[in-house]
Chain A
Amino acid sequence: MSENLYNKVWEAHAVRRLANGQTQLLIGTHLIHEVTSPQAFSMLRELGVPVRYPGRTFATVDHIVPTDESEEPYSDKLADEMIKALRVNCDEFGITFFDLKSGKQGIVHIIGPELGITQPATTIACGDSHTSTHGAFGAIAFGIGTTEVRDLLATQTIAMDKHKVRRINVDGELSPGVYAKDVILHIIRVLGVKGGLGYAYEYGGEVFDRFTMDERMTVCNMTIEGGARCGYINPDDTTFRYLKGRPYSPKGPAWEEAVENWRSIASDPGCAYDDVVNIRAEDIAPTVTWGINPGQALFIDENIPDPENCPEEQRASIEEALAHMKLEPGSPIRGTHVDVAFIGSCTNARLSDFKEVAQYLEGRRVADNVKAIAVPGSQGVGVLAEELGIAQVFRDAGFEWRNAGCSMCLAMNPDKLVGDQLCASSSNRNFKGRQGSPTGRTVLMSPLMVAAAAVTGEISDAREVFDLQITAGA
C-alpha cells in the first residue's frame, strides 16, 4: 500500500494508544536549550524521576547568549545564570551539551543538522516552535512545551495527536533574486497563518527537488508560522550528500543501511494526502511583510493594503497592524525608512545565506544611520565565514559581525530594537514587540533583501540594488 512519509514515520514511532485516545509517541531525538528546559529539570527533581535515555537528548545555548561578548561571565547576569543552570542540568543527568567552549555551540536548529544529529525517518522534538526546521531531512519534527520536555526526558515519549497531511507543490523555476524565504512567505500568505492548524505540511515539486538542504531548512523552519506544527520534505540524494561524513551520521556499513531505510520512508508515488495545494514558482517575487504576523506579506512592488478596500472581517486586524507599523495604507512598501538590518536566526543564518549576500555586498556600504548586524547561526558557520573571507566582507561593508546565537530574532539577549525602530530582518516573526521593543517594527524578508535595505537605508528591491536580472514575477 502506498503511504506518505508522515504516516510511515508515525507508525514506526507509535508506542501505544493512551486512555484519552492520543498516541504515546517515541521521540528519537530530543534537543534542548536554556530557555524552555530548566523548569522541566526542576520537575524531574521534584518527582525523583531520572532521564530515561540521556544519550538521545542534545543540548546547546542559543536564545540568551550575548553575541558581542565572548568570555564568561557575561555582563548580563541572568544570561550567566541560565547558561549555568543548563550546564548543571546536563552534567547531573548525563546529557551531551554543546557548550560555549565546544566550538559546536549555536542555534539548536542549525547545529542539529550541522552535526548530523538531524536524520531522516526520525522523530525530533524540542521546546521551540521552529523545530519544524528539521523536517527538511524527512523527519517528523515539532515544537513542544516545557511540561512535554519533562515527559520526554522522563520517558522519551510524549502524548500526541496525529495530524492530517497537506502536500504543497511548488513547480516551475524561481526567478533570480527569489529565494527559499520568499517561497515560504508566499506559501504562508496564500494559505494564511492559521491555514495549517491540524496539518503537517509535506513540501514537494520541482523547486524543492532542486533546493539545497539549507534552502529546504529555511522553508520548513517557518512552517509553524503558517499554523502547521511540522513540515517536511522527502529525503533524497541531496539529503544523503549533506549528511555523509557529519560527526553523528552513520558510518561504514551502517551508512548504506541507513540510506536504504531513508529512501524507503519517503512518500510513495500515488500516496494519499488530506489536501493538495499547487503553487507556481514563476508567480513568486521577492516578498516582505507589512504587518504584525508573517501572513501579512506582499511582493516588493505591491502597495500596502488599504482597509477601506478589504473585506470587512479583515479590516480590524489590518488597521491594528498598520497602526503598529506606522505605515500608510495604499502606499508602496518600498522606500520605507529602515533603522536596523539583521541577518541571522534559525531561518537564515547558515553559511550559504551569508555567502550569497557577500557576493553582492562586496564593495558596498551600509547606509548612514542604519545599524546592521550579521549573526552566524553557529560557531561552525562563524569559523567558516571567517576562513572564506565572508565575515570580512560584511565588516568592510559596515555590518557588525557577531558570535553565534538567536540574537535579534527574539531579543532575549542584549540585541534589541529601541523605541519604534524599523528592522529589515531575515528572521521568522514580525509579531508586535518581537525584537525587544514593545513599539519596535519588524519587516521580514530574505537575507539579500535585508542587505539591500541596509545599503539603501530603505526597503528596496534587491534585484535592482544589486543589479540582478529580473526575468519574471510581479
Chain B
Amino acid sequence: MPLEKVTRVAGKGVYVPGDDIDTDRIIPARYLRCITFEGLGEFLFYDERKHEDGTDKSHPLNDSRHRDAVIFLSGENFGCGSSREHAPQSIYRWGIRAVIAESFGEIFFGNSTKLGMPCLTASAGEINKLAAEIKKNPELQIEIDIISAVVSYGDYTFQAGFPDGVRHSLVEGRWDPLAELLEGAKEVKQVAASLSYFNT
C-alpha cells in the first residue's frame, strides 16, 4: 500500500510549555487498558486537561482557539519515559500532524516517525518566539516544509533540525519500514544462521 508522502505540514499551532514532558503525562497508563489505538485522541494529556470530576482545567489544548491546531510545540526531552506508542498515537488522533520541540525522547521520536508524524527540533528561542506569535494570533498559519525542514509563519522563517534519514522516509512515503524490512528476508536468514543462540 503506497504511503502518503509527507512533504509539508501546514496549519495552526499550539504550545504546551515545559521540559521533560513524559509519556505518562501525554497519556496516563490507565488509558493503555485497551487492545486498539482507536479513540485515544480524547485522552491526550487527560490529567493535565481535566480535573478529577471530569471538568476542564485551563490548558492550551482545551482552548477552543487551538482545537484544530496541527503543529504542536513544546520544550526539551519531549516524550521521555515509557515506550508506549499510545502517546504519539493519541497526539496524532487528536489531529496533530507535526511536533516541534527542543529535543525528544528517543523511543517517542521513532514511534512518531513510524506514524508519519514528523518531530523537528528547534532552539528554545525559536520555539518561544513562535509560541508568542501564536498567543498573539491563534489563527496564525504555520508551514513546515519537510523537505528543507524550514518553518515559516508571517514573514519569518527558521531552519529546524531534522535528521536526513527520517526526512527521506517521510518525503519518499516510506515512513512505515515494514515493506522494506520484509524485502530483506534472505539476508536476515543469513545473519540469523550465523548466530548460534538464534538457532537453539
Contacts and interface: CB of A to CB of B under 8 A. Distances in A.
Query: Which of B37, B174, B195 has most chain A Cβ within 10 Å?
Result: B195
Interface in A104-128: 119, 121-122, 127-128
B36 A147 contact: no
A472 interface: no
A42 B35 contact: yes
A317 interface: yes
B7 interface: no
B184 to A, nearest CB: 5
Interface stretch (B66-74, B100-108, B154-162): B100-108
B64 interface: no
A38 interface: yes
A307 interface: no
A150 interface: yes
B114 A227 contact: no
Interface stretch (A21-29, A95-103, A337-345, A371-379): A21-29
A439 B28 CA distance: 12
Nearest to A262: B197
A293 B106 contact: no
Query: Which of B35, B81, B164, B196 has most chain A Cβ within 10 Å?
Result: B35
Contacts of B164: 20-21
B2 interface: no
Given A15-B184, A20-B166, A20-B174, A146 B29 contact: no
Contact of B165 (A12, A21, A431): A21
Given A12-B194, A122-B197, A159 B33 contact: no
A39 B106 contact: no
Nearest to B170: A20
A431 B35 CA distance: 24
A267 interface: no
B5 to A, nearest CB: 14
Contacts of A136: none
B33 A78 contact: yes
B47 A155 contact: no
B182 A155 contact: yes
A147 B115 contact: yes
Contacts of B200: 250, 254
Contacts, number: 212
A473 interface: no
A257 B200 CA distance: 13
A234 interface: no
A145 B188 contact: no
Interface string B75-97: 01100111111001000000000
A288 B194 CA distance: 45
A327 interface: no
Given A24-B181, A151-B178, A434 B198 contact: no
Interface residues of A, number: 82
A146 B176 CA distance: 12
A15 B80 contact: no
Contacts of B195: 12-13, 26, 28, 122
Contacts of B191: 12-15, 26
Query: Which of B185, B188, B197 has most chain A Cβ within 10 Å?
Result: B197
B176 A147 contact: yes
Interface stretch (A176-184, A190-198, A268-276, A393-401): A190-198
A188 to B, nearest CB: 12
Given A129-B107, A229-B107, A432-B47, A28 B166 contact: no
B8 interface: no
A465 interface: no
B4 interface: no
A261 B163 CA distance: 35
Contacts of A63: 32
Interface string A425-461: 0000101111010110000000000000000000000
Interface in A234-261: 250, 254, 257-258, 261
A15 B188 contact: yes
A62 interface: no
A411 B30 contact: yes
Contact of A147 (B33, B111, B168): B111
Given A15-B191, A28-B195, A145-B111, A150 B47 contact: no
B110 interface: yes
Given A12-B195, A431-B22, 13 more contacts: A20-B169, A38-B35, A49-B178, A128-B82, A145-B85, A145-B88, A146-B37, A148-B111, A161-B165, A258-B196, A317-B18, A429-B24, A431-B24
26 contacts: A12-B194, A19-B168, A21-B168, A24-B180, A24-B181, A26-B198, A36-B83, A36-B85, A39-B36, A42-B36, A79-B33, A128-B83, A131-B83, A146-B111, A147-B111, A148-B110, A148-B114, A155-B188, A156-B188, A197-B104, A198-B106, A254-B200, A293-B20, A317-B20, A320-B18, A438-B28
Interface of A: 12-16, 18-22, 24, 26, 28-29, 35-36, 38-39, 42, 47, 49, 52-53, 56, 63-64, 78-79, 81-82, 85, 119, 121-122, 127-129, 131, 142-148, 150-151, 154-159, 161, 193-194, 197-198, 224-225, 227, 229, 250, 254, 257-258, 261, 293, 316-317, 320, 410-412, 429, 431-434, 436, 438-439
> 5 nearest interchain CB pairs?
A145-B111, A143-B83, A145-B85, A438-B47, A38-B35
Interface of B: 18-20, 22, 24-25, 28-30, 32-37, 47, 52, 76-77, 80-85, 88, 103-107, 110-111, 114-115, 163-166, 168-169, 172, 174, 176-178, 180-182, 184-185, 187-188, 191-192, 194-198, 200
